């Protein structure tokens, strides 16, 4: 990609450790795992209210034990929920892309998620409301919540949601099954449970017998955990980390770190800045991606529609997950896409991601649409070998 005009380059550096969730990203696409820990990506990443509801759910489950000790569990849970969604919304208001989303009550699935969180809180009996002690004072009958654990010389890290004598629990904000038939639990979630079990074994000296997945909506599921499978999983996660780090110095450019495909890129929030995605994407990807993403040249400056409240742009599309050829994208709200009020001239190269697929196959705008001029986007550069490595978030999601 040509030198960016407006944004400093994003430096891709070695990952210091791998967590249960970053191991899954490494499997899908090492570049995505590295971008998830890189500085400078935030302004280009559109948040997702569904994910924010999941974060709020985690905060409630994390805090309910101590809140319940102080008083009525139901009102404690509701307070935790309200504080979490308010904070998430306030953060969104100061983000260049996320300010488009309305108050929490308008987020899709808000009321269902709230009901799910309140229901799971009721399942926590008063006897389980134990403070988590430090490692030194741990007792087998106690319940630990959100303890930061490390193993394999610090290369494997994780923060299991809840650890009891015989089980490790992971709260999940999305569905836990591979498909709608609800017969097969997601393999990625089982792998994550195994890694948490390994961390528990290395830190507390015993193997949890089972893992428990607690979805925000629906019944919990228990998975038997075999120590040998947990050990293999840990070895594989650290090997994925080593392989990604070993690739970096010789990578030269981001392409050698990436594994673009509809599956890897589907939920990847870095599409708009990822040069590899734009090199690899094909028109037929739009179906599996469930969105159109296109790049091309403006054939005219944006024109105003809806009495000036929105804009329309005409593009000669020449790559991406969308048919090539002339395309009109509208309406683009000037409040949501203030970049359009700048210097978008005829001939500029522009990108759109998150376009809805209309019944006629044409791309249309929606609340997930992001656009930018290519020259305003940051370049991805491999950091020098002696650059600081990146710490990953230990949290599962």
Query: Is 271 a binder of ligand SF4 (CB under 6 A)?
Result: yes
* CA pair distance 52, 33, nearest whole angstrom: 20
Q: Is residue 333 packed enough to be buried (19+ CB in 10 Å), middle (13-18) or exposed (0-12)? A: middle
Closest CA to 371 of 97, 99, 100, 107: 97
Nearer to ligand SF4, 155 or 271 (CB): 271
| Least distance between ligand SF4 and beta carbon 261 (Å) | 7
| Least distance between ligand SF4 and beta carbon 62 (Å) | 29
Query: Is 38 a binder of ligand SF4 (CB under 6 A)?
Result: no
Query: Is 32 a binder of ligand SF4 (CB under 6 A)?
Result: yes
Do the beta carbons of residue 4 and residue 374 sit within 8 Å? no
| Least distance between ligand SF4 and beta carbon 256 (Å) | 11
First to last CA, the chain: 32
- Say if strands 380-382 and 10-12 run parallel, antiparallel, or are unpaired: parallel
| Least distance between ligand SF4 and beta carbon 271 (Å) | 5
- Can you name the residues that pair with 364 across neighbouring β-strands? 356
Q: Which stretch binds ligand SF4 (CB under 6 A): 172-180, 266-274, 287-295, 352-360?
A: 266-274
Nearer to ligand SF4, 31 or 292 (CB): 31
Nearer to ligand SF4, 106 or 279 (CB): 279
Q: Which stretch binds ligand SF4 (CB under 6 A): 11-19, 88-96, 139-147, 270-278?
A: 270-278
Token pair of 237, please?
């996660």
Q: Which stretch binds ligand SF4 (CB under 6 A): 78-86, 148-156, 258-266, 353-361?
A: 258-266
Query: Is 352 a binder of ligand SF4 (CB under 6 A)?
Result: no
Do the beta carbons of residue 34 and residue 257 sit within 8 Å? yes
Q: How many residues bind ligand SF4 (CB under 6 A)?
A: 14
Q: Which stretch binds ligand SF4 (CB under 6 A): 143-151, 234-242, 265-273, 306-314?
A: 265-273
User: H helices within the chain, ranges in order?
Assistant: 20-28, 30-36, 49-70, 73-93, 110-122, 187-204, 227-251, 262-265, 275-280, 286-289
Token pair of 102, please?
């309305």
Considering only 270, 339, 369, 392, the residue that binds ligand SF4 (CB under 6 A) is 270
Q: Burial code of 10-36, b = ≥16 C-beta within 10 A, e = fewer?
A: bbbbbbbbbbbbbbbbbbbbbbbbbbb
Nearer to ligand SF4, 9 or 301 (CB): 9
* CA pair distance 64, 61, nearest whole angstrom: 5
| Least distance between ligand SF4 and beta carbon 28 (Å) | 6
Q: Which stretch binds ligand SF4 (CB under 6 A): 31-39, 113-121, 192-200, 367-375?
A: 31-39
Considering only 264, 286, 353, 365, the residue that binds ligand SF4 (CB under 6 A) is 264
How big is the chain by its Cα radius of gyration, in Å?
A: 23
Phi, psi of 159 (to 5 degrees): -130, 80
Considering only 84, 244, 265, 315, the residue that binds ligand SF4 (CB under 6 A) is 265
Q: Which stretch binds ligand SF4 (CB under 6 A): 37-45, 97-105, 242-250, 260-268?
A: 260-268
Nearer to ligand SF4, 27 or 99 (CB): 27
Q: Which stretch binds ligand SF4 (CB under 6 A): 156-164, 221-229, 272-280, 349-357?
A: 272-280
Do the beta carbons of residue 86 and residue 144 sit within 8 Å? no
Nearer to ligand SF4, 198 or 277 (CB): 277
Query: Is 31 a binder of ligand SF4 (CB under 6 A)?
Result: yes
Considering only 77, 258, 357, 382, the residue that binds ligand SF4 (CB under 6 A) is 258
Nearer to ligand SF4, 113 or 350 (CB): 350
- Report how far apart, in Å, the C-alpha atoms of 39 and of each of 9, 35, 91 are: 10, 8, 17
Token look-up 């981001």 returns 254
* CA pair distance 113, 168, nearest whole angstrom: 23
Nearer to ligand SF4, 19 or 38 (CB): 38
Nearer to ligand SF4, 32 or 155 (CB): 32
Do the beta carbons of residue 316 and residue 347 sit within 8 Å? no
Token pair of 131, please?
């403070």
Token pair of 59, please?
């905060």
Q: Which residues bind to ligand SF4, rule: CB under 6 A?
A: 29, 31-32, 35, 258, 260, 264-265, 268, 270-271, 274, 276-277
């Amino acid at each position: 990609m040509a030198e960016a005009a407006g944004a400093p380059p994003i430096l891709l550096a070695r990952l210091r450790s791998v967590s249960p969730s970053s191991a899954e990203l490494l499997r899908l696409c090492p570049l995505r795992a590295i971008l998830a820990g890189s500085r400078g990506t935030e302004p280009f990443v559109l948040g997702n209210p569904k994910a924010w509801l999941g974060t709020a759910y985690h905060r409630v489950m994390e805090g309910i034990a101590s809140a319940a000790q102080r008083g009525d569990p139901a009102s404690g849970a509701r307070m935790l929920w309200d504080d979490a969604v308010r904070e998430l919304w306030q953060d969104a208001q100061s983000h260049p892309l996320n300010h488009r989303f309305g108050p929490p009550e308008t987020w899709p699935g808000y009321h269902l998620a709230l009901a799910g969180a309140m229901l799971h809180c009721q399942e926590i009996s008063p006897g389980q409301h134990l403070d988590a002690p430090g490692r030194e004072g741990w007792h087998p009958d106690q319940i630990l919540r959100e303890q930061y654990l490390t193993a394999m010389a610090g290369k494997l890290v994780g923060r299991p949601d809840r650890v009891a004598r015989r089980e490790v629990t992971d709260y999940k904000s999305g569905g836990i099954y591979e498909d709608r038939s609800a017969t097969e639990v997601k393999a990625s979630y089982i792998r994550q449970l195994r890694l948490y079990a390994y961390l528990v074994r290395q830190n507390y000296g015993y193997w949890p017998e089972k893992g428990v997945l607690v979805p925000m909506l629906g019944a919990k599921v228990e998975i038997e955990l075999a120590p040998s499978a947990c050990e293999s999983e840990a070895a594989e996660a650290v090997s994925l980390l080593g392989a990604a780090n070993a690739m970096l110095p010789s990578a030269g450019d981001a392409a050698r770190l990436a594994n673009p495909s509809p599956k890897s890129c589907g939920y990847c929030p870095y599409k708009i800045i990822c040069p590899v995605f734009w090199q690899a994407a094909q028109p037929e990807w739009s179906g599996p991606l469930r969105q159109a993403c296109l790049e091309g040249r403006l054939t005219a400056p944006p024109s105003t529609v809806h009495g000036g409240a929105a804009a329309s742009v005409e593009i000669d599309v020449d790559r991406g997950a969308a048919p090539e050829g002339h395309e009109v994208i509208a309406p683009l709200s000037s409040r949501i896409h203030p970049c359009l009020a700048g210097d978008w001239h005829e001939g500029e190269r522009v990108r759109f991601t998150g376009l809805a697929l209309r019944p006629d196959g044409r791309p249309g705008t929606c609340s997930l649409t992001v656009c930018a001029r290519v020259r305003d986007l940051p370049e991805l550069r491999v950091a020098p070998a002696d650059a600081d490595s990146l710490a990953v978030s230990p949290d599962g999601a």
